[in-house]
Amino acid sequence: MTSDIFIDISLVLAIAIGIAFVIQLLRQPLIIAYILTGIIAGPLFLNLINSSQQYFDIFAKFGVILLLFLVGLSLNIDYLRRIGKVAAITGIGQVAFTSFFGVIILLSLGFNFVPAAYLAISITFSSTIIIMKLLSDKREQRSVYGRYTIGLMLVQDIIAIGLLILLPSVGAGVSIVTSLLLIFVKVIVLVSLVYFLSRVILPVLLEKVAQSSEFLLIFTLAWCFAISGLAEWAGISLEVGAIIAGLSLGSSVYRTEISSRIKPIRDFFIALFFIILGSEMSVDNFSASIIPSMILSLFVLVGNPLILFTLYRMMKFTRKTSFLAGLTAAQVSEFGFVFLFIASAMGYVSDSILSIFTMVALITIFVSSYLITYNHEIYKFICPIFRFFGPDKHNSKKEERKTYEVLIFGYHRLGWKICEALKEMNISFAVVDSDPMAIKKLTIRQIPYFFGDVTEVDFLCELPLDQAKMIISTLPRADDQLTLIKHIRMTNKKTLMVANLAHSRFLNDLYKAGADYIMMPHLLSGQWMGSLLKNKNWSRETFKELTKKQKEELKLRFTLGGQ
């Protein structure tokens, strides 16, 4: 029996490795390889995984618990608070509208209301793991659309956590009000207990435990499973307990170390979780799932971005930012799998619903990976369609035109500090930005600004570029700056042009386009540190003084400048 377990797992993982090689060549997330492995290893083909092998289900449960533990651990409430109103409105609005239209689509396809509602809710959530990975690969986490997409993901995570808490109350045989009140009391009691432990006992234990990374890993796993088990014993669920366990360690100074230790274990078990989900596909389910899954996939790939585009436009974002943010969320999430996995275990949905969602996941994740990778090229392709409707009404108006000695493109991170220096020098300047939150800060500070995207040639034509003595760009993308520099050199060949790059790949391109100097933050940091070592005493007093100044500058930044 024991040898059979190892043989089965080794065969399944061998299939997964073979498929993963192909998936990587296609530049796709490995989640697709895992689901395809499950379909091939399941009853539909090789039957290596079937209902008689319960240990696979246990492994899948471990994957869910560790996934949700890390979600709780990384849930950045402070970041969400800074994003604030925009993230809340777009997140709640997107979940509500996607669920509503999803239910209508499924009811029109002949589904009963309860499974239609569960499936519609499951497709509302976008994949945090995939989005973060692709944004990181493109180095666009700090772009305007990247920051607000991350905020959207945080709101979706919070909504999903709430649904996981409420799920056990649905169909429990008692009134909704009674069950909700009971769950609320249980959650409050559990959270209060965990909060007390995390504030009073955990810091002392972690200080001792963290002296050994191996000990820290074992302790963290024990804490995760203990709180998860306590939550299930209290009648909530293992999954909610895992999230609470993660949240309790989220403020710990050892959070990064814990996360880095847990992730490899999570990756192994979550791979088995997706393999199990793929194995749920049977011949009957497959044939019955094709049409609904194709329709739902089209809705997620087209309808979901349109919903988000509309919501962001209502929040006065530019066309480009709204389009990029909407396109990024055009896939379904791991949370959808977890949600339906729990609902299926509780008997609320059938295996056919899981099969439909699995096919939707395969289609949307595959397509959206390319949509995110080439999102700027797609926007440029459809830009003529937007121009057919006239200038972007959320760009700056013509009557705001005025001449300035310096124009700064981008207020976030680098730009605010440059503004502070120019203000001290009493030099007239204005900021160009496409982030409504940055515009709000500029308005409060009474700093002149122009609101719009630099890739919009019509918008650039409205800017007073011809009179500026210097133009400074802190924009993150090289191609956006190429567009800007080329346009500037057509209108003003004398102005000094300073650009910004995080790496040297496009350095020569920007200089050839007409940049006079290109800031490279890592080189400037090294020069600053070298100057410090040459000109300052090597003492703790020196670094205490620098630390004090650094904290004062950060306080100024969060009060006046950036996010």
pLDDT for res 399: 42
Distance CA 480, CA 484 (A): 6
What the block records as the tokens of 350 is: 């059938």
What the block records as the tokens of 193 is: 């207990």
pLDDT tens string 511-557? 998 999 998 887 878 887 888 888 888 888 888 888 887 777 666 65
- Overall fold of domain 2-381: Na+/H+ antiporter like fold (1.20.1530)
- Indicate the pLDDT class of residue 76, thresholds 50, 70 and 90: low
Distance CA 85, CA 91 (A): 10
- Indicate the pLDDT class of residue 461, thresholds 50, 70 and 90: confident
pLDDT for res 102: 93
Distance CA 185, CA 190 (A): 9
Q: What is the mean pLDDT of the chain?
A: 82
Q: What share of the chain is helix, strand, coil (3-state, %, to 5)?
A: 70, 5, 25
Report in angstroms the alpha-carbon separations of 443 from 142, 450, 451. 22, 11, 11
Residue 188 CB: number of other CB atoms within 10 A? 10
Question: Angle at Cα 188 formed by Cα 222 and Cα 180, nearest 5°?
Answer: 115
- Indicate the pLDDT class of residue 82, thresholds 50, 70 and 90: low
Please give the DSSP secondary-structure letter assigned to residue 290. H
What's the Rg (C-alpha) of the chain? 26
Which of 280-294, 441-455, 529-543 shows the lowest per-residue confidence on average (mean pLDDT)? 280-294
Report in angstroms the alpha-carbon separations of 1 from 15, 56, 62, 224. 21, 14, 21, 30
Residue range(s) of every CATH 3.40.50.720 domain in the chain: 398-560
Among 225, 206, 267, residue whose Cα is nearest residue 16: 267
pLDDT for res 562: 45
DSSP sequence for 147-196? HHHHHHHHHHHHHHHHHHHHGGGTTSSS-HHHHHHHHHHHHHHHHHHHHH
Which of 165-179, 259-273, 284-298, 393-407 shows the lowest per-residue confidence on average (mean pLDDT)? 165-179
Class of domain 398-560: alpha beta
Residue range(s) of every CATH 1.20.1530.20 domain in the chain: 2-381
What the block records as the tokens of 214 is: 């191996």
Residue 39 CB: number of other CB atoms within 10 A? 23
Give bridge partners of residue 519 from the DSSP assignment. Answer: 500
